[in-house]
């Protein structure tokens, strides 16, 4: 494994499989235990450096680190020194001086964790950077698929929605391709990036045409700010053409699952009866996120001390 | 410092060695075996002489951002790069949109005394793109402004662009357009293509540049005006300019050294040293720009030297200011991109870096041939050395060079401005 987890492309098949297997072992080790805590990272310091509000991701990382007995510092950069003009570099050097072993970074600017990694000794984990990547989300999605379907190799995954701006989509494409899945992206042409022809995916503008052969349907959140920027005429039209409702869910193969990274726009990209159906893995994804993030922290920080 | 110099054994334009006698600011004699017992002698064996380089596109940052560059430090960087004249862009603070500001910059240039600083006037008040600045007043000032540009911003309003093109005809000015359709580049961070998709950075599509150039050559043709296009960066732009020239439109254009050498691959590490506007493009665009410069479609290499304070580059990509240093390495980059590839000879390079830019900027004393009676503005280049660029050694106050640690060919040994050395043995004389 590399020192940092900045992109899903940092993981080869061996690394990715190791993380998923480790997550499974952690799940097994903690199953049924009253005290859900391992001593692995005692004395290590994990900083959650969040320049963007994301309560669910931050809590997930915080709990993951605490369950590994690490000391956890939450540095919500909004409203702190950063908004008073302190640079990312100064923040990095400050955390470095405090002895952070790992920095979990969420930032609105693509590539910010890459910059951070140049300025600190510890490991940097990308917890979502702008419209670039969110590798632990992809790992938890892969883990969820493997648990539900028993495999990843050859699984047909359809990712639907705002691929252009989605860090979830980018990381999933990279990781799922590494793991042998067949990926289809579905979106209105306005929400697919120029240059997508070089991605290891198939592209379709027609959701109905691809659903019948999807083992996994992953719905992406449509951000509010896209609604009035002419990416599509209206929320209603988007929902009609690219939303997953009960009628569409009915054409899915028997064992197919429905995923969403959250938070959902119910009634927009996903209908309530779909989100709450037995096919939906949305709640599982959250708990799997905890296991996968424990595995990542353990593998990046555990064992040999630097 | 004396103003009588005998330069021995230099090769003008890389051709046969001769001696040059510089007296009273002019080239007094050219020949073999010249003698003048009063002259300082410079043994220039192996060196190539070119007319002093002229930059159509320099950001000197003064007034306003003297922490990044001043007229003095920028002039020194220019002289060290072999330049004898630079055009100082108008996007200072305050903006160079009045006779007072352009005159101040012009005077600072004279005081620095290392290169002729020709201020560029803003096209619109405050670069805001809504109201014409007092172009005539700037033209009539001692700064004698002839090039007008809102560089950094596009004159996007077609009606305003038309009026500007027409208005400057009264004093034979030229509008230098920063071609960037603003609605197509909102939030844009890098060239739109395969890499922007992968890196998750908002794309700056080639068409945003090409659409404006296409519009502007049509406007220039319609009103019979000259148009200059700043920093063309795409194959499509070269094609549009080539076609306009073939149709007889009075259009000229420039390319930066970095667009001749670097591609968007450099963005991969998110290091904002490689953030620039227009953005670094693809290898195919680089090929087209080199070919366009070689065949004369592109008239000039212009540095777009853009100094930035450290904190404006040591940050997140999206927060960083666009721009990179260029003056000190421009000639070396041109040698690598154009001479070493065989696309241009030294005479051709002199044409693109001195003759044509001086003509576009209407700088009478510059871009003249190395002949008796011409102003002694020249640069002596050692073509045979290769050097690794060190950002610590730059004369610029800023450090944002994209060439740090890169080995580049050729070195400026000496620069003469009206017969006086501004650089000797690779060292600035003031």
Which chain A residue's Cα is nearest to B193?
Answer: A195
With beta carbons under 8 A apart, name residues in chain A contacting B202: 131
With beta carbons under 8 A apart, name residues in chain A contacting B185: none
Q: Do residues A48 and A72 lie in contact, with contact meaning Cβ atoms separated by under 8 Å?
A: yes
Q: Do residues B240 and B210 lie in contact, with contact meaning Cβ atoms separated by under 8 Å?
A: yes
CATH number, domain containing residue A75: 3.40.50.1370
A22, A45, A57, A158: which one is catalytic?
A57
Contact B197 A199 (CB under 8 A): yes
- Tally of structural domains, chain A: 2
Tell me what the mean pLDDT of segment A199-218 comes to: 97
Same domain, A60 and A157: no
Q: Which two tokens stand for residue B404?
A: 């740090």
Which chain B residue's Cα is nearest to A133?
Answer: B200
With beta carbons under 8 A apart, name residues in chain B contacting A195: 192-198
Same domain, A46 and A91: yes
Q: Give the closest-approach CA distance of B265 to chain A in angstroms.
A: 14
For residue B252, how far is the Cα from the chain centroid? 14
**pLDDT exceeds cutoff 80 at A97:** yes
Between CA B123 and CA B131 the distance in angstroms is 8
Asked whether residue A260 is domain-assigned, the answer is yes
Q: Do residues A203 and A185 lie in contact, with contact meaning Cβ atoms separated by under 8 Å?
A: yes
Chain A window 47-66: which residues touch B at a Cβ cutoff of 8 Å?
none
Which residue has better confidence, A75 or A248?
A: A248
Neighbouring C-alpha atoms within 13 Å toward the C-beta of A230: 2
Same domain, A165 and A256: yes
Residue partners of B8: CB distance under 8 A and separation at least 6:
B19, B34, B41, B42, B43, B44, B45
Between CA A268 and CA A244 the distance in angstroms is 8
**pLDDT exceeds cutoff 70 at A82:** no
Asked whether residue A278 is domain-assigned, the answer is yes
Asked whether residue A18 is domain-assigned, the answer is yes
pLDDT digits (tens, 9 = 90+) for A227-258: 778 899 999 999 999 999 999 999 999 999 99
With beta carbons under 8 A apart, name residues in chain A contacting B318: 108-110, 130
With beta carbons under 8 A apart, name residues in chain B contacting A197: 194
Asked whether residue A165 is domain-assigned, the answer is yes
Same domain, A117 and A154: no
Catalytic positions of B are: 304
Tell me what the mean pLDDT of segment B59-67 comes to: 97
Residue with tokens 């094609």: B239
Contact B199 A193 (CB under 8 A): no
pLDDT on residue A305: 41
pLDDT digits (tens, 9 = 90+) for B269-325: 999 999 999 999 999 999 999 999 999 999 999 999 999 999 999 999 999 999 999
Calculate what percentage of chain A has a pLDDT beyond 70.
96
Identify the band that residue B3 occupies on the pLDDT scale cut at 50, 70 and 90.
confident
pLDDT on residue A77: 75
pLDDT digits (tens, 9 = 90+) for B95-106: 999 999 999 999
Q: Which two tokens stand for residue A137?
A: 């989300």
Between CA B277 and CA B279 the distance in angstroms is 5
Which of the residues B192, B200, B309, B318 would you substitute to probe the A interface, choosing the one with the greatest number of A C-beta atoms within 10 Å?
Answer: B200
Residue A29 CB burial class (10 angstroms; 0-12, 13-18, ≥19): exposed
Tell me what the mean pLDDT of segment A84-89 comes to: 76
pLDDT digits (tens, 9 = 90+) for A132-179: 999 999 999 999 999 999 999 999 999 999 999 999 999 999 999 999
**pLDDT exceeds cutoff 50 at A304:** no
Contact A132 B199 (CB under 8 A): yes
Which chain A residue's Cα is nearest to B320?
Answer: A109
Calculate what percentage of chain B has a pLDDT beyond 70.
100
Identify the band that residue A302 occupies on the pLDDT scale cut at 50, 70 and 90.
confident
Q: Which two tokens stand for residue A18?
A: 């190791």
- Among A110, A124, A44, CA closest to A306: A44
Same domain, A168 and A257: yes
Same domain, A67 and A112: yes
Contact B200 A109 (CB under 8 A): no
Q: How many contacts, defined by CB atoms under 8 Å, are there between A and B? A: 72
Residue A56 is a catalytic residue: yes
Asked whether residue A306 is domain-assigned, the answer is no
Tell me what the mean pLDDT of segment B370-392 comes to: 97
Which letter, b or e, does each residue of B174-189 get, where b requires 16 or more Cβ atoms within 10 Å of its Cβ? Answer: bbbbbbbbeebbeebb
pLDDT on residue A114: 97
Tell me what the mean pLDDT of segment B254-274 comes to: 98
Tell me the three state secondary structure of residue A161.
coil
Beta pairing partners, B19? B31
Contact B196 A194 (CB under 8 A): yes
Q: Do residues A111 and B317 lie in contact, with contact meaning Cβ atoms separated by under 8 Å?
A: yes
With beta carbons under 8 A apart, name residues in chain A contacting B200: 110-111, 129-133, 167, 170
Same domain, A89 and A141: no
**pLDDT exceeds cutoff 80 at A306:** no
pLDDT on residue B362: 97
With beta carbons under 8 A apart, name residues in chain B contacting A194: 192-193, 196-197, 203, 205
**Residue A112 in contact with partner chain B when CB distance is under 8 A:** yes
Identify the band that residue A118 occupies on the pLDDT scale cut at 50, 70 and 90.
very high
**Residue B295 in contact with partner chain A when CB distance is under 8 A:** no
Contact A167 B200 (CB under 8 A): yes
pLDDT digits (tens, 9 = 90+) for A21-44: 999 999 999 988 888 899 999 999
Q: Give the closest-approach CA distance of A123 to chain B in angstroms.
A: 17
**pLDDT exceeds cutoff 60 at B356:** yes
Identify the band that residue B23 occupies on the pLDDT scale cut at 50, 70 and 90.
very high
Tell me the three state secondary structure of residue A142.
helix
Which phi and psi (to 5°) does residue B255 adopt?
A: -135, 150
Same domain, A195 and A110: no
Which chain B residue's Cα is nearest to A171?
Answer: B198
Asked whether residue A3 is domain-assigned, the answer is no
Which phi and psi (to 5°) does residue A94 adopt?
A: -65, -45
Between CA B215 and CA B390 the distance in angstroms is 41
∠ CA(B22), CA(B27), CA(B28), 5° rounding? 80
Q: Write down how long chain A is.
A: 306
Asked whether residue A39 is domain-assigned, the answer is yes
Same domain, A113 and A180: no
pLDDT digits (tens, 9 = 90+) for B46-59: 999 999 999 999 99
Same domain, A74 and A205: no
Q: Based on C-alpha coordinates, what's the Rg of chain A?
A: 19
With beta carbons under 8 A apart, name residues in chain A contacting B271: 115
Beta pairing partners, B254? B300
Residue B330 CB burial class (10 angstroms; 0-12, 13-18, ≥19): buried
Same domain, A150 and A278: yes
Residue partners of B356: CB distance under 8 A and separation at least 6:
B252, B299, B300, B367
Determine the structural domain holding residue A52 and report its residue range: 8-134+286-301
Q: Which of B196, B311, B316 sits opposite A195 (nearest CB)?
A: B196
Which of the residues B187, B198, B281 would you substitute to probe the A interface, choosing the one with the greatest number of A C-beta atoms within 10 Å?
Answer: B198
Which chain A residue's Cα is nearest to B195?
Answer: A195
Contact B194 A195 (CB under 8 A): yes
Contact A115 B270 (CB under 8 A): yes
Query: What SS3 string covers chain B?
Result: CCCEEEEEEEEECCCCCEEEEEECCEEEEEECCCCCCCCEEEECCCCEEEECEEEEEECCCCCCCCCCCCHHHHHHHHHHCCEEEEEECCCCCCCCCCHHHHHHHHHHHHHHCCCEEEECECCEHHHCCCCECCHHHHHHCCCCCCEECCCCCCCCCHHHHHHHHHHHHHHCCEEEECCCCHHHCCCCCEECCHHHHHHCCCEECHHHHHHHHHHHHHHHHHHCCCEEECCCCCHHHHHHHHHHHHCCCCEEEEECHHHHHCCHHHHHHCCHHHCCCCCCCCHHHHHHHHHHHHHCCCCEECCCECCCCHHHCCCCHHHCCCCECCCCCHHHHHHHHHHCCCCCCHHHHHHHHHHHHHHHHCCCCCCCCCCCCCECCEEEEEEEEEEECCHHHCCCCCCCCCCCCCEEEEEEEEEEECCEEEEECCEECC
Between CA B345 and CA B339 the distance in angstroms is 6
Contact B197 A194 (CB under 8 A): yes
Between CA A8 and CA A23 the distance in angstroms is 16
Between CA A59 and CA A53 the distance in angstroms is 11
Mean pLDDT of chain A: 93
With beta carbons under 8 A apart, name residues in chain B contacting A88: 315-316
Residue with tokens 């809590």: A59
Asked whether residue A2 is domain-assigned, the answer is no
Q: What is the reported pTM? A: 0.95
Which of the residues B204, B316, B321 would you substitute to probe the A interface, choosing the one with the greatest number of A C-beta atoms within 10 Å?
Answer: B316
Q: Give the closest-approach CA distance of B266 to chain A in angstroms.
A: 13
Residue partners of B349: CB distance under 8 A and separation at least 6:
B50, B334, B335, B338, B339
**pLDDT exceeds cutoff 70 at B233:** yes
Mean pLDDT of chain B: 97
**Residue B386 in contact with partner chain A when CB distance is under 8 A:** no
Which of the residues A91, A111, A130, A175 would you substitute to probe the B interface, choosing the one with the greatest number of B C-beta atoms within 10 Å?
Answer: A111
Contact A130 B318 (CB under 8 A): yes
Residue A57 is a catalytic residue: yes
**Residue A4 in contact with partner chain B when CB distance is under 8 A:** no
Q: Which two tokens stand for residue B147?
A: 């090039």
A42, A56, A240, A247: which one is catalytic?
A56
- Domains of chain B and CATH, by start: 4-48+374-400+408-428 (2.30.40.10), 51-361 (3.20.20.140)
Q: Which two tokens stand for residue A283?
A: 């709640």
Which letter, b or e, does each residue of B210-245 get, where b requires 16 or more Cβ atoms within 10 Å of its Cβ? Answer: bbbbbbbbbbbbebebbbbbbbbbbbbbbbbbbebb
**Residue B270 in contact with partner chain A when CB distance is under 8 A:** yes
pLDDT on residue A303: 56
Same domain, A156 and A104: no
| Alpha-helical segments (H) within chain A | 13-30, 55-67, 88-97, 112-119, 135-149, 167-178, 207-211, 235-242, 246-249, 272-275, 282-301
Question: How many angstroms separate the most distant Cα atoms in chain A?
Answer: 56
Calculate what percentage of chain B has a pLDDT beyond 90.
99
- Among B47, B198, B66, CA closest to A174: B198
Between CA B357 and CA B219 the distance in angstroms is 22
């Amino acid at each position: 494994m590399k020192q940092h987890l900045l992109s899903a492309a940092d993981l080869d098949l061996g690394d990715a499989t190791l993380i998923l297997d480790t997550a499974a072992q952690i799940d097994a080790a903690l199953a049924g235990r009253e005290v859900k805590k391992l001593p692995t990272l005692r004395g290590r310091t994990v900083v959650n450096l969040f320049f963007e509000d994301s309560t669910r991701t931050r809590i997930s990382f915080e709990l993951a680190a605490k369950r590994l007995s690490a000391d956890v510092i939450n540095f919500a950069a909004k409203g702190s020194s950063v908004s008073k003009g302190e640079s990312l570099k100064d923040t990095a050097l400050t955390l470095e001086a405090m002895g952070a072993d790992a920095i979990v970074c969420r930032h609105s600017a693509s590539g910010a964790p890459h910059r951070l990694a140049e300025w600190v000794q510890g490991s940097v984990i990308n917890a979502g950077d702008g419209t670039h990547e969110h590798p632990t989300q992809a790992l938890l999605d892969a883990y969820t698929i493997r648990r539900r379907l028993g495999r990843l190799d050859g699984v047909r995954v359809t990712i639907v929605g705002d691929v252009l701006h989605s860090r979830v989509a980018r990381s999933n494409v990279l990781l799922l391709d590494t793991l042998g899945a067949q990926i289809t992206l579905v979106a209105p042409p306005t929400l697919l990036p120029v240059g997508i022809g070089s991605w290891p995916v198939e592209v379709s503008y027609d959701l109905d045409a691809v659903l019948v052969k999807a083992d996994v349907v992953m719905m992406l959140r449509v951000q509010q700010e896209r609604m009035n920027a002419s990416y599509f005429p209206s929320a209603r039209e988007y929902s009609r053409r690219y939303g997953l409702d009960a009628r569409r869910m009915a054409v899915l193969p028997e064992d197919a699952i429905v995923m969403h990274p959250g938070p959902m726009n119910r009634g927009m990209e996903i209908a309530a009866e779909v989100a709450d159906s037995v096919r939906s893995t949305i709640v599982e994804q959250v708990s799997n996120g905890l296991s996968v993030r424990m595995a990542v922290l353990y593998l990046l920080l555990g064992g040999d001390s630097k | 410092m004396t103003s009588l110099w005998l330069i021995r054994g230099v090769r003008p334009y890389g051709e046969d060695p001769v001696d040059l006698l510089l007296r009273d600011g002019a080239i007094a004699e050219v020949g073999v075996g010249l003698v003048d017992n009063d002259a300082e002698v410079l043994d220039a064996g192996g060196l190539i002489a070119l007319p002093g380089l002229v930059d159509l596109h320099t950001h000197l940052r003064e007034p306003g951002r003297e922490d990044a560059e001043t007229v003095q430090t920028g002039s020194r960087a220019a002289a060290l790069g072999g330049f004898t004249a630079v055009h100082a862009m108008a996007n200072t603070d305050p903006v160079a949109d009045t006779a007072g500001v352009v005159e101040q910059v012009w005077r600072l240039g004279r005081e620095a005394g290392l290169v002729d600083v020709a201020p560029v006037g803003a096209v619109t008040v405050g670069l805001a793109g809504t109201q014409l600045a007092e172009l005539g007043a700037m033209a009539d000032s001692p700064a004698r402004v002839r090039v007008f540009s809102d560089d950094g911003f596009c004159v996007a309003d077609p009606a305003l662009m038309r009026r500007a093109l027409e208005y400057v005809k009264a004093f034979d000015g030229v509008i230098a357009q920063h071609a960037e359709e603003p609605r197509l580049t909102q939030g844009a961070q890098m060239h739109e293509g395969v890499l922007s998709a992968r890196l998750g950075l908002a794309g700056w599509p080639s068409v945003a540049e090409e659409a404006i150039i296409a519009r502007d050559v049509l406007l220039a043709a319609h009103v019979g005006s000259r148009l200059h296009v700043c920093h063309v960066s795409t194959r499509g732009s070269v094609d549009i300019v080539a076609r306009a020239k073939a149709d007889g439109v009075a259009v000229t254009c420039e390319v930066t050294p970095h667009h001749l050498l670097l591609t968007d691959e450099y963005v991969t590490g998110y290091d904002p040293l490689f953030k620039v506007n227009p953005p670094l493009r693809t290898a195919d665009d680089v090929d087209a720009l080199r070919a366009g410069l070689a065949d004369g479609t592109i008239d000039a290499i212009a540095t777009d030297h853009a100094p930035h304070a450290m904190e404006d580059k040591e940050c997140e990509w999206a927060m960083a200011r666009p721009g990179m240093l260029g003056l000190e390495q421009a000639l070396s980059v041109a040698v690598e991109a154009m001479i070493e590839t065989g696309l241009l000879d030294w005479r051709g390079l002199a044409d693109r870096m001195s003759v044509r830019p001086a003509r576009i900027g209407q700088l009478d004393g510059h871009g003249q041939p190395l002949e008796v009676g011409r102003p002694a503005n020249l640069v002596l280049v050692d073509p045979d050395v290769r050097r690794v660029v060190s950002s610590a050694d730059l004369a610029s106050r800023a450090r944002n060079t994209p060439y740090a640690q890169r080995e580049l060919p050729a070195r400026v040994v000496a620069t003469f401005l009206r017969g006086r050395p501004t650089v000797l043995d690779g060292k600035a004389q003031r």
